[in-house]
Chain A
Amino acid sequence: MNETVNVRVFRGDAESGGWRDYAVEVEEGQVVLDVIHRIQATQAPDLAVRWNCKAGKCGSCSAEINGQPRLMCMTRMNLFAPGEPITVAPMKTWPLVRDLVTDVSFNYETAKTIPAFKPRPPEADGFWRMQQEDIERGQEFRKCIECFLCQDVCHVIRDHPANKAAFAGPRFFVRLAELEMHPLDTEDRLELARRDAGVGYCNITKCCTEVCPENIHITDNAIIPLKERVADRYFDPVRWLGGKLFGRRRP
């Protein structure tokens, strides 16, 4: 049931670029990444694209497909109606390197600013014990494959690149929330969440949650609780002092 479809792919680099149309043969079950690979193998050997696992596990192949931030390897071609135009563009929020490849180093730099996990001492026998229900939320956050699609879609930095200096973005709110709710962690990162990571800039549009390929409830489960904790701390000094004296609240 092979058929030929037309796919528009963005080609170019930081200086110049534009759409290029490719007529490509598509087989049953194929995904957008297969189509990009076929273009590479048959028509444009220098077409730049990132990928690794081809199974939605590594978060390398992020792009904007018909304007939607998605993983190319998890976007089936049968999603598109016959004849529907298909466009594949690089993520807009990051500086373009070439074709579908962008410079995502912002995310690696931001990761360095988040203080490491600092566990409390283990129990007398040298082990830590945690109940499954106490780590389930953390495990949800740790499903993150760092595709940076949530970062790409968030209007705070997508539309206002200057905000990048003051806003870590949803991916890192997920990370902060994860550490904040880790049953063993003892480090305090709320001041960082408020001041450097700029969680206050987020106005809960939930766009990030919608694009997350891991279905992490970024806004409801990470950002809102983080905002609440920040609010508790900075606007309710009595509770804050209580927290300092009597140890951290359990998540």
Chain B
Amino acid sequence: MPEYERHDYDVIVIGAGGAGLRAAIEASARGCRTALVCKSLLGKAHTVMAEGGIAAALGNVWPQDNWEVHFRDTMRGGKMLNNWRMAQLHAQEAPERVRELEEWGALFDRTNDGRILQRDFGGHRYARLAHVGDRTGLELIRTLQQHAVHKGIDVFMECTVTRLLKDGDRVSGAVAYWRESGNLVVFAAKAVVLATGGVGKAFAVTSNSWEYTGDGHALAYEAGAELIDMECVQFHPTGMVWPPSVRGILVTEGVRGDGGTLRNSDGERFMFDYIPDFFRAETADTVAEADAWYEDKENNRRTPDLLPRDEVARAINAEVKAGRGSPHGGVFLDIAARRPAEYIRRRLPSMYHQFKQLADVDITAQSMEVGPTMHYIMGGVRVDADTAATTVPGLFAAGECAGGMHGANRLGGNSLSDLVVFGRRAGMGAAADAAAVDAPAVDDAQVEAVAAEMNAPFAREDGEGPYDIQRDLQETMHTLAGIIRTEAELLEARERIAALRERAARVRVHGHRQYNPGWHLALDLPALLTVSEATARAANLRRESRGGHTRDDYPDPDDGWGGRNVVVRRGADGAMDVSTAPLPEMPAELRRLFEE
């Protein structure tokens, strides 16, 4: 039997971004002995990188705003594929969660009368994003972290979970390893919350960090839970494109929200050529009206620069393909023409520094070059809206690794609010569940099997290292399952992923167990491959285009598909099973919001 340390808890939360922190705070407040486990140091999770803001219908800038408008924007932005109940709870509860952050010490930017200021973002009818300059995620994570630190939550940092344990049908804990020592840790828990974030590292150009290897998605899948909407991947329209080493790093939508506009190499505001019928009624169709909108929002329609992300990303892609791109294969984004330098530096300080330091571009005087970058996965673990329970007893999920909330396309700012709304609900759900069950048993045979798998890469005499496998996977997903897809390419992606899986099964690692990044990556590969396969296969099944899923061979939305989720689960034979299920039906009183 391998040696390991064991810890017993009521609830363990895997992941310490906004969702995980909020879940742990809630579970602990409800009397649960709670542990928070994360791959990197506390406070470094992806949430820290969020820039533009947190969406909540506070109505501080536009009193007309309320949860129903936010709900409607979210569903329309998601091309109606969202779980309506999640979208409803999210819109209703986000304002309370934002106020709670203030109560816990967050310092949001203010309106003239001293309330929380809100900014414009794509797809939101009213200025709705509470923010702190362009570092809202830092404010959110630090506030939660500083609040959590006094709540008696045990934190396991730089501790990576590799497998969930089961006791019969129920999840009963998790196996992890300390990154620092390589030693094994076993958690026995009455309930487990997944809050592990996204999958960006499956793609070559991404705004995401090394942590985003789809661990939570894969842990849930392996434990028998269902994943939905894995074909719905968001490419953010504005990532940096130059120099190569920063390719993919995010340029916040706040740049456009605060007055930045997109142009092609002919100097044209090309977004006017890409207004879809779905949004025509609410979008300005002339430059004059769009320009007037910045000053007078009541009497003008919003600029098409702020259409939802999927629309803008496809438009940029098309412009570049048509030969109207910028020198480094993007388009131009300019805010200097509309706003004074002082305003830009105050509203967008990190963007100013990011371009100045990394690209030698002064955004108060020059245009930025931007292009699409893989940013977010809408798909994730299927959950019950009210409790965040997955389809496996004892297992909960919240944040980016959960699916349903954002449908086929997420609106900017709706993730940070998602984290705190559903992080809290997952904490509640897990606490209630933990109270109802006895302490689970840990099955040593399961631990032993995981330990053997983890050690195997050291024991191999030949085989390649993990870096090339990851790079080839990223290239595969980027070129064959990226922003525009076809059946032939998706089938090829599937074949290549299968071949990569074989290479990964023979991966070899040199050196020691102490803080060995090569080994860590080798252990991340299976999850990356699982989410990649899920995305490629779900994308092939959905024969239509919707939101973040665009098929060149089926370019239009299809009403039949609009009523179905693609569901991925492990079949009885151990192979991946991909099928569809009808969307939960929206009640009539909410449906009426879309009929006006």
Contacts and interface: CB of A to CB of B under 8 A. Distances in A.
Given A101-B515, A129-B114, A145-B138, A117 B105 contact: yes
B521 to A, nearest CB: 8
Contacts of B41: 50, 60, 104, 108
B210 A51 contact: yes
A222 to B, nearest CB: 15
A63 to B, nearest CB: 15
A82 interface: no
Nearest to A113: B149
A60 B180 CA distance: 15
B64 interface: no
B44 A135 contact: no
Given A41-B467, A74-B357, A139-B107, A117 B146 contact: yes
16 contacts: A28-B244, A29-B245, A30-B245, A45-B466, A45-B518, A46-B518, A50-B40, A52-B40, A57-B135, A60-B44, A101-B515, A104-B41, A139-B107, A142-B132, A146-B43, A185-B105
A127 B102 CA distance: 10
A130 B250 CA distance: 31
Contacts of A97: 180, 514-515
A46 B517 contact: yes
B258 to A, nearest CB: 16
Nearest to A46: B511
Q: Which of B107, B246, B514 neighbours the largest number of chain A CB atoms within 10 Å of its CB?
A: B107
A61 to B, nearest CB: 10
A39 B350 CA distance: 29
B44 A48 contact: no
Interface in B503-523: 509-512, 514-519
B10 interface: no
A57 B517 contact: no
B147 A46 contact: no
A112 B517 contact: no
A76 interface: yes
A54 interface: yes
Interface residues of B, number: 63
A210 interface: no
A46 B510 CA distance: 7
B125 interface: no
Nearest to B141: A58
A60 B40 contact: yes
Nearest to A104: B41
A239 interface: no
B104 A117 contact: yes
B242 interface: yes
Contacts of A56: 350, 353-354, 357
B333 interface: no
A29 B359 CA distance: 7
B115 A52 contact: no
B110 A130 contact: yes
Given A49-B517, A57-B49, A112 B359 contact: no
A159 to B, nearest CB: 25
A69 interface: no
Closest 4 pairs between A and B when the two form their complex, measured CB to CB: A29-B243, A129-B114, A45-B518, A117-B105
Interface of A: 13, 27-31, 34, 40-41, 45-60, 74, 76, 97-99, 101, 104, 108, 111-112, 115-117, 119, 126-132, 135, 138-139, 142-146, 179, 182, 185
A81 B135 CA distance: 33
Nearest to A40: B517
A182 B105 CA distance: 8
Contacts of A135: 107, 110
Contacts of A57: 48-49, 135, 138, 350
B209 interface: yes
Contact of A13 (B150, B465, B509, B514): B514
Contact of B142 (A48, A76, A132, A142): A142
Contact of A31 (B109, B146, B358): B358
Contacts of A115: 150
B113 interface: yes
B244 A29 contact: yes
Given A46-B512, A48-B517, A116-B149, 13 more contacts: A29-B358, A30-B245, A40-B518, A45-B465, A45-B467, A53-B209, A54-B246, A57-B48, A97-B180, A108-B41, A128-B102, A129-B115, A138-B107
Given A41-B467, A129-B113, A116 B146 contact: yes
B463 to A, nearest CB: 13
Contacts of B147: 116-117
A172 to B, nearest CB: 12
A29 B113 contact: no
B236 to A, nearest CB: 14
Nearest to A183: B107
A237 B359 CA distance: 54
Contacts of B229: none
A27 to B, nearest CB: 6
Nearest to B51: A57
B538 interface: no
Contacts of B471: 41
B49 A132 contact: no
A31 B358 CA distance: 8
B107 A45 contact: no
B518 A58 contact: no
B211 interface: yes
B524 to A, nearest CB: 14
B370 interface: no
A181 to B, nearest CB: 10
Contacts of A146: 43
Contact of A48 (B109, B113, B515): B515
Contact of B511 (A45, A116, A139): A45
Contact of A143 (B110, B135, B517): B135
Contact of B109 (A49, A127, A132): A132
B207 to A, nearest CB: 9
Interface in B192-230: 209-211
A131 B211 contact: no
Contacts of A127: 99, 115
A34 B99 CA distance: 40
A27 B245 contact: yes
Q: Which of B105, B242, B466 has the most CB of A within 10 A?
A: B105
Interface string B509-552: 11110111111000000000000000000000000000000000
A111 B146 contact: yes
A34 B244 CA distance: 11
A104 B110 CA distance: 35
Contacts of B357: 56, 74, 76
B262 interface: no
